[in-house]
Amino acid sequence: MHHLPPAPQPEAAAAAQPAPLSDPTALRLVGDIGGTHARFALVRGPQGRPAAQHTLSTGAYPDLASAVAAYLQAVGARPVEAAIAIACAIEGDELRMTNNRWQFSVEATRRRLGLQRLLMLNDWEAMAYAVPAFQPPDLLHLGGGAPVAGAPCALLGPGTGLGVSSLVRSRGGEWVAIAGEGGHVSVAPGNEREADILRVLWTEHAHVSAERLVSGMGLENLYRAIARLDGVAPQPLAAAEVCARALARADAQCEEALLSFCSLLGNVAGNLALTLGARGGVYFGGGILGRIGADYLLERSPLRRSFEAKGRFAPYLQRVPTYLIRAEQPALLGAAIALGVQPGEAGPDKD
């Protein structure tokens, strides 16, 4: 299985580089900030990979600068530049997180930390930058053919919400990550049962987005709607409980909720693949898929079948490869690449 071979062009393609390295030998900080945890690491040299990784609780610190300062004090480091992946939209200097209380100025944070440069990235934008540097153990092939060299790639990650991004090559040959709000697109049912589920949820939400169905809250919404359709009183189950009961085959409504979750994820991913022409592959990540497990996704889940179910374009999608991202902390690697570090392109069949 061949993955992301270099596209033919006059000069070798560089890794994604929003800005060149100011000093190739300098020490750099990378981070990945979610609603609950802040993960940090250090990168040294033009081809280094994240090292000295630590995870902190975001609730223990009032803002990003305080968390970074605590990490740097613990590891005894003074980086000159930093790239931070964060679970929010990057719009202007003032950033406000959706799932925790952090709100801060990027420029004030840079000055407070004494950094020459502070690059803020959407978390799934950083994930996209990491794709060309994945090593063979970092990916599980979920179906489809071989990726097309230089073709666009799509990424989806159901967790607290639904992260969506893409990776495309510029005319100059560099990989460029594109962040968006694809988790909030409308959902089309793939069968009568899904249409019934949507009818239930339309009584609760004026707009049932992909995130309302394919995320932690999505699992809870699916379970509750299915219970109502079956005439069963829904229990107050969190997403992790719905998932656990489904995997144990201990609750019929939970089982159907998880199957529907995977089917709808495949449906949304197929739409994204067609929209982008993502013949370079579709990459799934996020905490929920890790909890579900590879065996379920490969053997019991309708994800791949739903991904391909696009009528006349089913043969097109049958050739598009899908992968489960198994790399640890891929957003940290993507943040390093966004700074200009070039750890090298890899793939499932490269050494």
Show binding-site residues: 31-36
Radius of gyration of the chain (CA): 21
DSSP-based three-state secondary structure for 142: strand
- Which token pair is 263? 């089917």
- CB-CB contact of 162 with 183 (8 Å): yes
Provide the annotated binding site for ATP. 31-36
CB 2 within 8 A of CB 147: yes
Alpha carbons within 13 A on the beta-carbon side of 295:
1
Are the C-beta atoms of 175 and 16 separated by less than 8 Å? Answer: yes
Sheet strands (E) in the chain: 27-33, 37-44, 51-57, 81-86, 94-96, 103-105, 117-122, 139-143, 153-158, 162-169, 175-179, 282-284, 322-325
Q: What is the DSSP letter of 164?
A: E
> Is there a contact between 123 and 331 (Cβ–Cβ < 8 Å)?
yes
CA distance linking residue 44 with residue 321, whole number of Å: 33
Q: CB under 8 Å, gap of 24 or more: what pairs does 57-63 form?
A: 58/33, 58/34, 58/100, 58/102, 59/100, 62/102, 63/102, 63/103, 63/104, 63/109
